[in-house]
Structures are given as structure tokens and as C-alpha cells.
Chains A and B, each alone.
Chain A
Amino acid sequence: MCLILFSVGLYCVLRKRNLIKIIIGIGIMEYAANLFFILIGYRQEGRAPIYAHDQVIKNMVDPLPQAVVLTSIVLGLALMLLLVAISIRIYEKYRTFDITKINRLKG
């Protein structure tokens, strides 16, 4: 199901001509990928992977993809920061966000 979300983002990246829309599409793809990892490691009637005070909990959801996705969310934030910074500079140089008009490789 979340592959549909991923393909929405993919369509946006491939088709749209506005640079900010492309950045939004990359963000949507990143959300879909993180959701997919968490959906895989979900156990029915599982508990959150945090030990309460003196409780023996038998079934927990898988904590390994959660730790990985934690890092991935922060990396996605760093990616968006850099993308938006580059796109702001592109706007200042070319005065437009249309990617078909940004084709002059000037120094």
C-alpha cells in the first residue's frame, strides 16, 4: 500500500517542471520508504520496544528497523536542507524555478 505513496513521489519527481515540486516529490518518496521499513517490522499486538518498570513483555515490535529509520529521518532532513539551499541559489541566478529554462552552464 505504501508503494502507491512511493510511486506518487516518483511521478512527481519525473514529471513536474517546477524545482520546488521536485523537492517535494523527493520528500514524499523519503516518507514512503521510512514507512515501508516500519511496516515490515510490525508484529500484531506488539508493544512498543521500551521496557516499563518491572514488566516482562513477551512480544515487541522489531526495534532494529526503528533505530535505522531514526537515522534515516535525520538524514532526510539534512538532504532537504541542502536541496533547498541549492535551489535558492539557483533561483537567485536564473530568476526562475522552471527546470527547462535552467540550462545555461555558466561559471
Chain B
Amino acid sequence: MNDNDRSGMTLIVKTVTRLTLGFILIYGIYIGMIGHSSPGGGFAGGVIIALSLVHIMLAFGRDAALRRIHRGTLRVLTGLGALVFLYIVLCNPNTALGRIALPICEMLIVGAGLFAIFVALVLLSKGHRDSE
């Protein structure tokens, strides 16, 4: 398990991750947005986007993943997504802004779901890596 601490996984995993990462990200956004007419919807899309970021973290080690997105940015985005989602749900009871608000609302569900899960996972792993 020493290689895992030093530089991530083997070269095969790193190459495959580099090739498939953009595809996973776009697929997650697609599933998040296709919720109206096909199975999918905000939460599944958000989890898939979070999985793409987890993929970076698993393959390249913790430090390389955190160099791309700062920790503070993740937390701010999570809180912002949650707050805007709360505001939209509470202020449009049934059809206040109508159809304009609903897709935005769902995209924010994607935002809140994705970033929250990813922040939880990355910081959990980072939290118990610090003690070893």
C-alpha cells in the first residue's frame, strides 16, 4: 500500500483515467439534464459528476486532485448550491415563475448533490490520510 501514498495508482489506471474522464463528466451532465423525458434526473447526474472527480482522486493520489480544485472553493460551492436551491424551492410554491424556474431548480439540485458528495468524500479521505 505504499505506492498508494506516494503517487497514486499504476500507469494503466492513470492513462485510462485521462482518456475517459471527460466522457464521464459529460455523461453526468447529460443524465442530469435529460430528467424530463428519460430516466435520470438531478441526483443521479450529480453523483456521476462526483464520481468523475473521485476517479481523479483515486488514480492520481490526493495532492494532484486537490491542486485542481481548492478546498475552499468546494465548500463555498456546496453551500451556495444548497442555499440557492432552498431559496428557489421555498419561494416558488407551485407555478410562480413557471417553467423557467423548474429546470434551473433541477440544475441546482445537480449542483448541490454533486458538490456535497464530492466534498464529503475527498475530505473524508484527506482527513484520515493526515493521520498516517
Contact = CB atoms under 8 A, between A and B. Distances in A.
Q: Do chains A and B touch in the complex (CB under 8 A)?
A: yes
Interface residues of B, number: 13
A74 B47 CA distance: 10
A50 B38 contact: yes
A84 B121 CA distance: 11
In terms of DSSP, what is the predominant structure of the interface of chain B?
Answer: helix
A85 B114 CA distance: 19
A81 B120 contact: yes
Contacts, number: 20
Contacts of A85: 124, 127
Contacts of B113: 74
Contact of B124 (A48, A50, A74, A81): A81
A92 B39 contact: no
Contacts of B70: none
Contact of A92 (B37, B38, B128): B128
Given A70-B43, A74-B43, A88 B38 contact: no
B43 to A, nearest CB: 6
Interface of A: 48, 50, 70, 74, 77, 81, 84-85, 88, 92
Given A50-B37, A74-B43, 6 more contacts: A50-B39, A84-B124, A85-B124, A88-B124, A88-B127, A92-B128
